[in-house]
Amino acid sequence: MSLRYLFIQAIIVTFIASGCSKDDFTTTSTPVYFGESNIVNLSSSEQETEVKASYPHWRIIDYKEDGTKIPRDTISGDWYKLIRNNNGESLYIKVNENRGEKRSLIIRIINGNYNTHVALSQDGGIKY
């Protein structure tokens, strides 16, 4: 498996909003949403967009192959850049022009017992 695919699979967005009660030791989770159905559809052109978070306190954690956590404000791939914006109030997304086939990226979101994802999809094939 290529390092690129390992990198994409290793993108995990973790939230700070976990709590613990001394009485019963239960963990609470706050669901976070980025737009309708957590789906971001983009055209094939180079573009930037910002998606507001319903709960603003989140952070990006990347992982090395040995499992070491790396806090980041930005994660970049071959065709995309994800930026934690305004202290986690939004996710800023930049994508390069896509002259090939449709491409997509799944961003996992984990907060305690809560688990969801944001699906980023970009159309392909610019026609002249």
pLDDT in tens, 5-19: 444 444 444 333 333
User: Is a pLDDT exceeding 90 seen at residue 71?
Assistant: no
| Confidence tier at 127 by pLDDT (50, 70, 90) | low
pLDDT for 6 equals 41
pLDDT digits (tens, 9 = 90+) for 29-66: 567 777 777 888 999 999 999 888 887 777 777 888 89
73-122 pLDDT, tens digit per residue, is 898 999 999 998 888 888 899 999 999 999 999 887 766 667 778 899 99
Which has more confidence, 124 or 60? 124
Give the pLDDT band (50/70/90) at residue 28: low
CA distance 49 to 92: 6
Cβ contact 111:32 at 8 Å: yes
Which residues, in sequence order, are CB contacts of 55 under 8 Å at separation 6+? Answer: 15, 17, 30, 31, 32
pTM as predicted: 0.68
